[in-house]
Structure 1
Amino acid sequence: MMTAKNDRPAVLVTGGAGYIGSHAVLALRDSGWRVAVIDNLSTGFRFALPDDVPLYEGDIADRSLVADIIAREEIGAIMHFAGSIIVPESVENPLKYYENNTLKSHSLISSAVAGGVRNFIFSSTAATYGIPATSPVGESIPKQPINPYGWSKLMTEQMLADTAAAHPFRYCALRYFNVAGADPLGRTGQSTVGATHLIKVALEAALGQRDNVAVFGTDYDTPDGTGVRDYIHVADLAAAHVLALQALVDDASPPPIMNCGYGRGFSVLEVLDAVDRVTNRTINRKLEPRRAGDPAALVSDPSLLRQRLDWQPKRADLDQIIQDALQWERKLAELRAG
């Protein structure tokens, strides 16, 4: 039986002014949850949040601040998005990733336990799988990350599992594949300057903000030689978070680990062709060597999410993902110009 809206705990969203976090805030609010945000605004923006959502500017490793927020806002659940996410950077600067993604998550989990927070949703990644031997990728295959980003997230998953075994604490880690798109109502989107997401980069090129799009690796064992990824619309991903949280609060015993994707892969060149089609422009493509830490193909098996949470994606169409992202890019240009 689902918890009544007025019985739901307040939710603290870490990194809630960032790309995925701000969409989760909107999805929670649209579903009637009370929300507060902590974000250091290193890659997040106040304009990405509704005006009446409390924003605490600070670090998730600041235990006194987090304790104060938990008490002040009567927090009963945490959605944890704060962290570093760029795979090549993790290879070049691994200690940054183990600090931001692992050590600070340890601090946050410790604060949650100390503050009596019982429900925790974690933003994990398909990078925990490394180079999987099978495709699509199920949650139970061996986890062998090939970059520090993946390891930093897998370590946090283990901390959550061990914490749940020792304390009255429930968690769900959602492993994302490639997140793209923007809020269909134009309220938020990917706003980080210098972002490395392929669709955002391609749209910036289509709109004349970049000279070209680099294609890293054209000799993979894929149909056209470029990397294949499973792209999920950020609004569908945010909806999955709300369903997972509801299941935790209702004590419905959702699986602790679930993939978030559509189960369909597109190559880099297919994505660029789709951007050309949606924008009616031709993007200049610059062929580059492979990047360190990039697998050839990564496609999800989202069966658990669909079956256990009755997750019904609404925007599982590549052209729609690109169209929503394009709408946001145009609005973002207006925000920055004004």
Structure 2
Amino acid sequence: MELNGKVMVTGGAGYIGSHAVLALLDAGYEVVVIDNLVTGFAWAVDSRATLVEANVADDDAVRGAIRDHDVRAILHFAGSVVVPESVSDPLKYYRNNTAATRALLESAVSEGVPHFIFSSTAATYGTPAKVPVQEGDPTVPINPYGMSKLMTEAMLRDVAVAHPINYCALRYFNVAGADPQGRSGQSTIGATHLIKIAVEAATGKRDAVSVFGTDFDTADGTGVRDYIHVSDLAAAHVAALERLIENPDESLTLNCGYGRGFSVNEVLDAVDRVTNLTIQRRYEGRRAGDPAALIADNAAIFAALPWRPQYDDLDTIVRDALSWERGLAERAQP
């Protein structure tokens, strides 16, 4: 089956959204991006896509774009993503993530959009009782970021029962890397993602990398995460969309990860290895809202979708992130 219309990508000028735009365009879909450009960049949107500068909570702008571009599916990436900030400013996260998505869903239902893919998170699990974590395990977020996403998942379930729309909620683990062709990467100012910070240090933008917590119940005491290459994640969205199109009465919630965890120290070892440098590590106390370990059980996504990772290698992830970071450094030169 074909979509018979365009795909709207909210937050498509941001890090993950811009990679999803590339994956959709490369797969032959027509794409319209909605982004308010508060944290995204217009230049990050591929020229084959149409960019509409608007907030996803702006009903008139979103509904107008859906009608004008004959949108038949929405991939929703727009939102706020910094866990410690969500602890200090929870209302921002319930506004930008939960309330804004409620408005977007209302627009989608009003305009008859049949398919919706949601950028969810492993933070919905909180501190899991076991790892790797499965989709059916308890969801007990320990920070407002995770709760804001879990509340949206609940809305999606209820909306799909009441209206002719199906959805896939993809629970991301730790996203890193950059497009291997160098077309996009993480460009956010003040990013908090470990690999992004580490390659900034490798290119001289930082003098050290902070390691938050050395007393976790892990092999080396530092936090363990499941890192997924952003291009693999983008490909998972295309596969999920095609599953929704083929099965209009079905909705899914799936983990997106590789099923293997690396500690903070192991990641920094990889950066040292790839760059042939020694990045200075600054050991500090734990951050609020950080669990010891989060690793995906990815059996469900392998069973539901034909998706298989193409960049499942930590050094490859670091190498692509480093290449992009070096390009950003050149872009910043006068």
Question: Which bracket does the TM-score occupy, shorter chain normalised?
Answer: over 0.9
Does 2:11 align with 1:11? no
Does 2:286 align with 1:290? yes
Q: Deviations over 1:4-27 (max 9, x none)?
A: 4xx543100000000000000000
Q: Deviations over 1:256-295 (max 9, x none)?
A: 1000000000000000000000011100100000000000
Q: Deviations over 1:59-95 (max 9, x none)?
A: 0010000010000000000000000000000000000
Aligned residues of 2:244 and 2:251 also touching (Cα < 8 A)? no
Instruction: Look up the equivalent residue of 1:296 and give its one-letter code.
Output: A
Does 2:214 align with 1:218? yes
Question: Residues 167-316 of structure 1: matches in 2 within 5 Å?
Answer: 167-251=163-247, 256-316=252-312
Pairwise CA distance, 1:330: 1.1
What is the rounded CA distance, in whole Å, between the counterparts of 1:323 and 1:8 in structure 2? 38
What is the rounded CA distance, in whole Å, between the counterparts of 1:299 and 1:135 in structure 2? 6
Q: Is the deviation greater in 108-117 or in 38-47?
A: 38-47
Secondary structure of the structure 2 residue equivalent to 1:20: helix
Does 2:30 align with 1:34? yes
Unaligned runs of 5+ in 1: none
Q: Is the deviation greater in 249-258 or in 72-81?
A: 249-258
Q: Specify the alignment match of 1:320 in structure 2.
A: 316
Aligned residues of 2:166 and 2:248 also touching (Cα < 8 A)? no
What is the rounded CA distance, in whole Å, between the counterparts of 2:291 and 2:254 in structure 1? 20
What is the rounded CA distance, in whole Å, between the counterparts of 1:294 and 1:140 in structure 2? 21
Secondary structure of the structure 1 residue equivalent to 2:200: helix
Aligned residues of 2:25 and 2:48 also touching (Cα < 8 A)? no
Pairwise CA distance, 1:116: 0.5
What is the rounded CA distance, in whole Å, between the counterparts of 1:268 and 1:253 in structure 2? 41
Question: Residues 42-81 of structure 1: matches in 2 within 5 Å?
Answer: 42-81=38-77
What is the rounded CA distance, in whole Å, between the counterparts of 1:329 and 1:203 in structure 2? 7
Question: Residues 63-212 of structure 1: matches in 2 within 5 Å?
Answer: 63-212=59-208
Does 2:328 align with 1:332? yes
Secondary structure of the structure 2 residue equivalent to 1:28: helix
What is the rounded CA distance, in whole Å, between the counterparts of 1:178 and 1:315 in structure 2? 14
Give the length in aligned residue pairs.
Answer: 334
Aligned residues of 1:8 and 1:249 also touching (Cα < 8 A)? no
Aligned residues of 1:260 and 1:300 also touching (Cα < 8 A)? yes
Secondary structure of the structure 1 residue equivalent to 2:116: strand
What is the rounded CA distance, in whole Å, between the counterparts of 1:8 and 1:203 in structure 2? 41
Q: Sequence identity, in percent? A: 63
Q: Deviations over 1:176-220 (max 9, x none)?
A: 000000000000000001100000100111111101000000000
What is the rounded CA distance, in whole Å, between the counterparts of 1:276 and 1:8 in structure 2? 48
What is the rounded CA distance, in whole Å, between the counterparts of 1:52 and 1:271 in structure 2? 35
**Closer, same or farther in 2 for the Cα pair 1:8/1:242, shift >3 Å?**
farther
Secondary structure of the structure 2 residue equivalent to 1:209: coil
Instruction: Look up the equivalent residue of 1:280 and give its one-letter code.
Output: N
Report the TM-score, using the length of structure 1 for normalisation. 0.97
What is the rounded CA distance, in whole Å, between the counterparts of 1:337 and 1:73 in structure 2? 38
Aligned residues of 2:115 and 2:165 also touching (Cα < 8 A)? yes
What is the rounded CA distance, in whole Å, between the counterparts of 2:40 and 2:209 in structure 1? 24
Instruction: Look up the equivalent residue of 1:219 and give its one-letter code.
Output: D
What is the rounded CA distance, in whole Å, between the counterparts of 2:250 and 2:160 in structure 1? 13
